[in-house]
A and B are shown apart, each in its own frame.
Chain A
Amino acid sequence: MNIGRTIGLALRTLSRNRLRSFLMMLGVMIGVASLTALASVGEATKQETMRRFKRMLGTFDVVIVNPGGPSTRGMPSLTSAPPVLKQGDAEAIAKEVALVKQVAVTQFAFDVDVKYGDRSVSPSIMGISPNWTEVRGEEIALGEGITAADNDAMARVAVIGEDLRKALFPAEDPIGRQIRIADVPFQVKGVLAPRGMGPGGASMDFTLAIPVATASRRLFNRDYYTGMMVQLRDPTQSDRAITDITALLRERHGIVPPAEDDFTVTSPKAQVARVTDVGSTLSKVMLGVAAIATLIGGVVIMSLMLISVSERRREIGVRRAVGASQRDILAQFLTEAAVVSFIGGLAGIALGLGGTLVAAALTKLPPAILWSAIGGAALMSILVGLLFGLQPAWRAANVDPIQALRS
């Protein structure tokens, strides 16, 4: 019997016993549905993480140098960071590492009061080198950014983020206004374009930037940096740049392995990989759950098929008597198992996609549909049917037609 006709026969048989067919589909359906939804939600999360990182860093084409060794956690600030990254380090990296185009530095702090009139808030504050905005590809929405002249003059000027503007100047033009940062007067000279949420989900617009020289000498009185962004001449060379910068800083800081570094050099890509790795451990566990559901579905198919074979001994005998070979019977039952499992798989995909859309609506993340995972799930459902249909089909093919036709 050809394959088209065998599938037709399987569909007719399955439609004659709908309840049993439905039960056979159930496990595979649930397994595939969770697989589809998981893959899609996982992908959506990963894409969103990438977007947030990109918003935070502005670019992926840099190398990041932070104070503190590899075991350091969290965003380094002036209060938490060890005082190890100095101006000399920044200059040495810019001069001695051939791959480096320029180095931007920052002093990051929070819990500092910022006042305007009778309004008082405490945004994050960044002292930035004048090239910071350029390295990050940051845009100024209103007024001007921090210039080299500002930095050289240790000018008391500030560029504020959109959320801070809303908080301090809900109805005024902020340009030219005087604000007080830790009671030191500063003049607002620009507003940053909004950047949205960072990787942690918090807004990155409740912030304020001032020249790094002003920050270190006039505001905080600290001579170390909380971070450097190193722009490369060739962004594809980030691995080599990391190696070179690490070697240089070890030499400058007098560190000889196996002693631990007092700094960390990474690329944003590596950081994203680390974050999504945590996500993928979770999704591996969930994947295991989905796989188990599918496996249980397979076992259900097998047991119901075995029951079906013993109930249909007479049918098998009839088919054999009128010309079906053992191979025909084997194919018939295998096809039935594969078809029922595949239909369960298709229903599961539909269900999973529905779940994905619901999840997208709930988390407000744009849905990402991973077609490769869906194709894989469809294929897997067929394979599950074939695998678990094998024993029942084998038993069906070996039914003795003479015994089956007696009674």
Chain B
Amino acid sequence: MIEVSHLARTYTRGDGTPVPALRDVSFTIGKGEFVTIRGASGSGKSSLLNILGCLDTPTSGSYRLDGEDVSGYTDQRRSHIRNRKIGFVFQSFNLLPRTTAAENVEIPALYTGGPVDRERALAILGKVGLGGRAEHYVTELSGGEQQRVAIARALMNDPPLLLADEPTGNLDSAAGESVMKLLTELHREGRTIVLVTHDEGVAAYAHREILIRDGLVAADRPQPGRDTGGPAAAASASGAGA
């Protein structure tokens, strides 16, 4: 599903000095895998995830998503891919204030060109355990609930790929665990999940771990995973071997 090779991303500071966030990153992630990208703060994890999510483009190297080289795509086409193929979950939830849970979940559907299916938004909220909270303003919800609204939003257009950047970073351990259980369940349903974390405990939920250090892949190894016996177990093993 994901194929990156010799990926590099160099930012330019305000004063013109280059900041190499990613130097030379190559790996493949198969359909249905549950992978964590782990590394210290500043190691380049978010930079990598933003490129995988088509929010950013690499300075050099290539990124193939479902066989398409998307690294040179226009904003319009990358936006379309984000809309249809990718669901984002962020550390800071990024819900819209003064807006209800259901309205937040519907946002991705606004950009499909088709109708907005309120029933579907409510069904997904039910699925993430917030059936009774649909009409609540997001500011009335707890952190764990807000993150589950964000996950529901990521699922609205039924994307095959979920990208999460430190999704438990702002949560207490109980809420964090329930979010990880939810992601594990979504993986079991067949979704590909790439999760960025600096936390080994969180990484343990996945089947594979890519370790990043100073913009380079330091290690790429299988993990036990917590959802043994799922349909993705085989894919995970083959992904780790690639």
Contact = CB atoms under 8 A, between A and B. Distances in A.
Interface of A: 1-2, 5, 9, 16, 314-315, 317-328, 401-402, 405-407
Interface residues of B, number: 29
B105 to A, nearest CB: 10
B90 A5 contact: no
B198 interface: no
Interface stretch (B79-87, B119-127, B178-186, B206-214): B79-87
Among B80, B94, B153, max chain A CB count under 10 A is at B94
A-B pairs with lowest CB-CB distance, top 9: A323-B83, A325-B79, A323-B111, A322-B108, A321-B88, A323-B82, A16-B98, A325-B76, A318-B94
A318 B108 CA distance: 9
Contacts of A318: 94-96, 107
A9 B110 contact: yes
Among B92, B110, B156, B157, max chain A CB count under 10 A is at B110
A1 B82 contact: no
Interface of B: 46, 50, 53, 55-56, 75-76, 79-80, 82-84, 88, 90, 92, 94-96, 98, 107-108, 110-113, 116, 153, 156-157
B80 A322 contact: no
Contacts of B84: 323
Nearest to A397: B75
Contact of A323 (B79, B90, B94): B79
A328 B76 CA distance: 9
Among B46, B53, B84, B111, max chain A CB count under 10 A is at B111
Contacts of B76: 325, 327
A7 to B, nearest CB: 12
Nearest to A323: B83
Nearest to A322: B108
Given A1-B111, A328-B111, A323 B55 contact: no
Contacts of A1: 110-111, 113
Contacts of B53: 321
Contacts of A407: 92
A407 B169 CA distance: 12
Contacts of A2: 113
A315 B98 CA distance: 11
A15 to B, nearest CB: 10
B14 to A, nearest CB: 13
Nearest to A315: B96
Given A322-B108, A323-B111, A325-B75, A402 B83 contact: no
Given A1-B111, A323-B84, A323-B111, A405 B153 contact: no
B90 A405 contact: yes
Given A314-B94, A318-B96, A320-B55, A402 B50 contact: yes
Given A321-B82, A322-B83, A405-B94, 4 more contacts: A315-B96, A322-B108, A328-B79, A402-B50
B55 A321 contact: yes
Nearest to B88: A321
B109 to A, nearest CB: 9
A4 to B, nearest CB: 11
Contacts of A402: 50, 55-56
